[in-house]
Amino acid sequence: MTQIVATVDFAKEGKQVGWLRVPHSVTRSAYGIVPVPIAVLRNGPGPAILLTAGTHGDEYEGQVVLTRLIQQLQPEEMRGLLIVMPALNAPAAIAGSRVSPLDEGNLNRAFPGDPDGGPTWKIADYVGNHLVPMVDVVGDFHGGGASLAYRPHASTHFSPDSGTELRERSLAAVKALGIPHVMIFESRSAAGGMSAATRKHGKIYLNGEYGGTASVSRESVALVDQAVRRLLAFFGTRNDRFEPLPEPEVLSVFGTEAYVYASDPGVFVPAVRLGDTVRKGDLCGHLYFPETPERAAVEMVFEGSGDVVCQRHPARVERGDCLAHLARPVMSPAR
Ligand SMILES: [Zn+2]
C-alpha cells in the first residue's frame, strides 16, 4: 500500500497540475511531505502515456521540455491520457544530483521500489505499481548526468523474454523519435531500472541520453522537444505531421566488454572522441598520476569493438569509474 497521496484525479477529464505528496518525517518537519510535480491531461479515449524526466536530477533536457509541455499543451489539442512528471525524483532534481539527498537513492536503481522505504523507493513503487499499469507507453528522458558525456541517442530496452510484438512496436516507436542514433539495451538483469518495471507490465519503454556533463544547451533541448512531439504523434496523442527523416542508425549495447573502467585513481586523458569507431585492444586513453610523478602513465584499452557512444566527463577518476562505453551497429535488431 502506497503512502503517497496524489492531489490529481487520474480519471478526470481536462488538465490538472498537482503533486504526489511523499511523506517524509524528519526532525525539522515531523509531518513533512516531499511534493513531486505531476500533470494529468485527459481528453476522451485514446493512447495512455507517461512521460518522465528528472529520474536523475543532474540530467536536464527532459526536465525543461516536460515543464514547457505542461504549460503549453491543452487537453483539447490531444486525445487519451497523458501523465507528465518533469522532476520525478524531485529532491534530486532540486539538488541537481543523480541521487536524492534525502536517502542517497538512485531512482533508476530503486525499482520495483518499496512503499515503506525512503522517498526514492516510495516514488519507484508508485511509478511501477500505480502509474505504469495506467498507461501503454513510458517515455523517460535522461541526459548522461554530471559524470558522463553521451552522443545523443534514443533508446528502448528489451529482456530476452520480451515478446516479438512488444519488440517490434518499441523499435518502431524509438525509430520514429527523429534522433539519428537509436540504441537497444537488452539485458536479463533488472538492475532496479524503470525499464524492467515497465516491461513487467508488458508496456513499451522508451528512453534516451541526450547530453551530459551536468549541462544543457539549446540544441539538446530542441532534440528532446522534437522527440517528445514525435512520440506523441507516433502513438496518436496528437495529430502533428513531421517531415520524414533518414532512417536512424540502430546500435546495440553489448556485454561487459563494451565498458572500460579505470584501473587506478588518477587523471584520465582520453585518446578517442564520441562517435569514433574502435577495435578490441585500441587505446581508450592514459591514466596519469601527478601525485606520484615518477610513476609511468597507464594505458587503458578497449576490451571490445564498436562505436564510442559515452565518455567520462570529469578528468579526475577513482578506480572503477567508467571511462567510456561502446555500442555496435546492428543490421536486424527486431529479429
Ligand atoms: Zn539518467
What residues have their beta carbon closer than 5 A to ion ligand 1?
Answer: 56, 59, 142
Q: Is residue 335 in some structural domain? A: no
| pLDDT greater than 70 at residue 88 | yes
Mean pLDDT of 283-305: 98
Tens digit of each residue's pLDDT (9 = 90 or more) over 63-78: 999 999 999 999 999 9
154 and 290 inside one domain: no
Q: Which of 193, 218, 252 lies at the terminal end of a domain, its last residue?
A: 252
Q: Is residue 80 in some structural domain? A: yes
235 and 296 inside one domain: no
Q: How far is the CA of 145 from the centre of ligand 1 (A)?
A: 6
248 and 270 inside one domain: no
Tens digit of each residue's pLDDT (9 = 90 or more) over 301-333: 999 999 999 999 999 999 999 999 999 999 754
| pLDDT greater than 80 at residue 16 | yes
123 and 166 inside one domain: yes
Instruction: Work out the end-to-end distance of the chain between its first and last CA atoms, rounded to an integer number of angstroms.
Output: 40
246 and 284 inside one domain: no
76 and 115 inside one domain: yes
Q: How far apart are CA 154 and CA 270, in angstroms?
A: 25
Task: Please give the mean pLDDT across all residues of the chain.
Answer: 95
Q: Is residue 334 in some structural domain? A: no
Question: What CATH number is associated with residue 191?
Answer: 3.40.630.10
Mean pLDDT of 230-242: 96
What is the extent of the structural domain holding 320? Answer: 258-329
Report how many domains make up the chain: 2
295 and 240 inside one domain: no
Helices (H) and strands (E) in the chain, counts: 6, 19
227 and 304 inside one domain: no
Tens digit of each residue's pLDDT (9 = 90 or more) over 271-287: 999 999 999 999 999 99
Q: In b/e form, how buried is each residue of 255-265, taking b as 16+ CB within 10 angstroms?
A: eeebbbbbeee
Q: How far is the CA of 251 from the centre of ligand 1 (A)?
A: 19
Q: How far apart are CA 309 and CA 329, in angstroms?
A: 11
Q: How far apart are CA 321 and CA 255, in angstroms?
A: 17
Q: Is residue 324 in some structural domain? A: yes
pTM: 0.96
282 and 242 inside one domain: no
Q: What is the structure's pLDDT at 186? A: 80
Retrieve residue 126's grid coordinates.
Answer: 508508485
Mean pLDDT of 185-196: 82
Q: How far is the CA of 56 from the centre of ligand 1 (A)?
A: 5
Retrieve residue 256's grid coordinates.
Answer: 561487459
Q: What is the structure's pLDDT at 333? A: 43
| pLDDT greater than 70 at residue 292 | yes
Q: Is residue 107 in some structural domain? A: yes
Question: What CATH number is associated with residue 288?
Answer: 2.40.50.100
240 and 149 inside one domain: yes
Q: Is residue 200 in some structural domain? A: yes
| pLDDT greater than 80 at residue 177 | yes
Q: What is the structure's pLDDT at 255? A: 85
Tens digit of each residue's pLDDT (9 = 90 or more) over 130-173: 999 999 999 999 999 999 999 999 999 887 778 899 999 999 99
Burial of 26 (0-12, 13-18, 19+ CB in 10 A): exposed
Q: How far is the CA of 185 from the centre of ligand 1 (A)?
A: 14
Q: How far is the CA of 175 from the centre of ligand 1 (A)?
A: 20
Q: What whole-number percentage of the chain has pLDDT above 70?
A: 98
Q: Which of 217, 233, 252 lies at the terminal end of a domain, its last residue?
A: 252
Q: How far is the CA of 140 from the centre of ligand 1 (A)?
A: 9
Mean pLDDT of 222-238: 97
Q: Which residues contact 277 (CB under 8 A, 6 or more apart)?
A: 306, 307, 308
Q: Which of 218, 252, 286 lies at the terminal end of a domain, its last residue?
A: 252
197 and 65 inside one domain: yes
Q: Is residue 24 in some structural domain? A: yes
248 and 264 inside one domain: no
